[in-house]
Chains A and B, each alone.
Chain A
Amino acid sequence: MLELRGVTAGYGQFTALWGVSLRVSAGEAVAVVGPNGAGKTTLMRVISGLVSPREGDLTFEGQSLARLPAHEIVAHGIAHVPEGRRIFPMLTVADNLKMGAFLRSARRGYRDSLERVYTLFPALAERQKQRAGSLSGGEQQMLAIGRALMSRPKIILLDEPSMGLAPVMVLRLFDLIRRVREEGYTILVVEQNVRQILKLVDRAYLLEVGRIKMEGRADELSEQDFVRKAYVGL
């Protein structure tokens, strides 16, 4: 469904990704793991159109995405949950979700999507009229994911969903991501929390200093000595 071939990208003089190739098939959950500064966030920004690739090819359902601006990428059915829970803090929870269905194609199914999000995240339904900025970190992350679902995406990009959350919340959040997954969404997630995320996804890529170092099935990867030592902490 989503395919990157030899993507090189960066900011100004600095190159953050060197010839990265990866693939996500429909219905799959795929993780990109790696240490800080590996280029994970840049990778997400390339796919969602916030950074355009310098070289390489990027296709979604056979159509090229390279050089499309961010708002058009959303229209193709790719929802991005940016790093650091970029919700609209002064708007209410309900209005944040409403903004998620900003596109005309999403507006049509607004009520239906809203109900799905509230069923998935009952905590959000309870806080509909509260300002998003007053939610806890975990709830804000749920809201960010819920908002992405409102655009009726075919694939969801999650950028470091566990960042800045208390360990208990991380477990709950991963549980929620599992439920999103069971709803049939295709997911591409970038994480530092390797051990947890490998339990959740089908396949994973290991990204280091801008290059894919390893790839494979999640259960196989977590058995690799090198991954275990470096990231799992066993």
Chain B
Amino acid sequence: MARLTAAAVLAIIAAAPFLPMGGMRQYALHVLVQIFIWSFIGGAWSLMGRFGLISLGHGAFLGAGAYTTTLLWNFWGLTPWLGVLVAVAGAVVIGLVLGYPCFRFRVVGHYFALVTLAVGEVVRLLVIAERDWTGGSLGVTLKASAGEASLAAIQFADKRVFYYASVVVWLGGLWVWRRVDRSMARSALEAIGEDETAAASVGIHVTRFKLAITVLSAALTAVGGVLYAQYFTYVNPDTLSGIGVSLRIVFAVVLGGMYSLLGPTVGSALTIALSEYLRVLFGLKFIGMAETIYGLVLILCIIFLPAGIYGSLRAAIARRMARRRAAPA
């Protein structure tokens, strides 16, 4: 049953670019690509978040990824296929520099969140300060390749290419999430999240596990940043690093549910759909209204659905199924 549903959903996703949408095709695809990219990034964040490693600075990894490939391409013409390796390596280094001292000296909970918050800001400020080659706060545009489409440059005028690329990356993210979910590392990290002393007392190498998951999360987030940069062909410090985008990732995941496979996807889809809808609805009238409503909805959801929308829904369905099974046939 679950397999059938998954197959049906995948078929719809695969066929989506060819469904009739009136004149809205380009816009709809644009929104969908964004949803898949941010879902993937949200999933990467939740790899850490679900174990109590709340990062408020994932913008650092996102920005490092996006800027690395963009600048390597613009200055040296290095293909993003290789650039992404450098980007991931860069994010991993940031992850290690952030994680090792924190985990070694037991900076946990709120304190860890504050440290990550600072790291996200540091990357944003660095990008702004190094304006000679990063373009500063104005951002930088990816140099266009010759022709309509270039596989080597990962630039395509046709949005459908990015649509499928983002779906593949998103599916890859889900696969990684599931692998972690079914591993021994998951039990170890859950134990660490509950009580580090107790975890160490049963022989879990606390620092190593925390570092590993941080590095994995950072690497995937950097890949998300690269994909974002290739799709938008424009990077800017405020949309890719710093507090704003870091919190945006957190909100989407918390809204959808960080303990379930599809929670980050549902959360990202809802937040993007909602902000698009409010943007269209209010346009230039009532400046700030869209953000206010967006904020209120988030607060209400976090108070009343602590396991997230998707997480709560799934729990409710599971309860109902259990009741039905318990009742005599």
Contacts and interface: CB of A to CB of B under 8 A. Distances in A.
A91 interface: yes
B201 A88 contact: no
B195 A88 contact: yes
B202 A91 contact: no
Given A95-B187, A98-B187, A74 B203 contact: yes
Contacts of B176: none
A40 interface: no
A80 interface: yes
A74 B202 contact: yes
Contacts of A88: 190-191, 194-195, 198-199
A165 interface: no
A208 to B, nearest CB: 26
Given A99-B187, A102-B188, A87 B198 contact: yes
Contacts of B206: 71
Given A71-B206, A91-B194, A86 B201 contact: yes
A102 B203 contact: yes
B200 interface: yes
Interface in A168-184: none
Contacts of B187: 95, 98-99, 102
A147 interface: yes
A99 B198 CA distance: 10
Interface in B198-228: 198-206
Interface in A80-94: 80-82, 86-91
Contacts of B190: 88, 90-91
Contact of B197 (A50, A90, A95, A106): A50
B201 A82 contact: yes
**Chain B, interface SS category:** helix
B201 A70 contact: yes
Contacts of A210: none
Interface in A147-163: 147-148, 150-151
A70 B191 contact: no
Contact of A90 (B184, B188, B194, B199): B194
Interface residues of A, number: 29
A200 interface: no
Given A88-B190, A88-B195, A99-B191, A50 B200 contact: yes
A86 B204 contact: no
Contact of A151 (B188, B195, B202): B202
A86 B205 CA distance: 17
Nearest to B208: A71
A100 interface: yes
Contacts of A48: 201
A223 to B, nearest CB: 35
Nearest to A79: B201
A75 interface: yes
A14 B189 CA distance: 32
Contacts of A80: 201
A164 interface: no
B53 to A, nearest CB: 16
Interface in B166-208: 184, 187-188, 190-191, 194-195, 197-206
A75 B203 contact: yes
Contact of B198 (A69, A82, A150): A82
Rank and list the top 9 A-B pairs by shortest CB-CB distance, nearest first: A74-B203, A86-B198, A70-B200, A103-B203, A88-B194, A71-B205, A80-B201, A71-B203, A99-B191
28 contacts: A49-B200, A50-B197, A50-B200, A71-B200, A71-B203, A71-B204, A71-B206, A74-B201, A74-B202, A74-B203, A80-B201, A81-B201, A82-B201, A86-B201, A87-B195, A88-B190, A88-B191, A88-B195, A90-B194, A91-B191, A100-B202, A102-B187, A102-B188, A102-B191, A102-B202, A103-B203, A106-B203, A151-B202
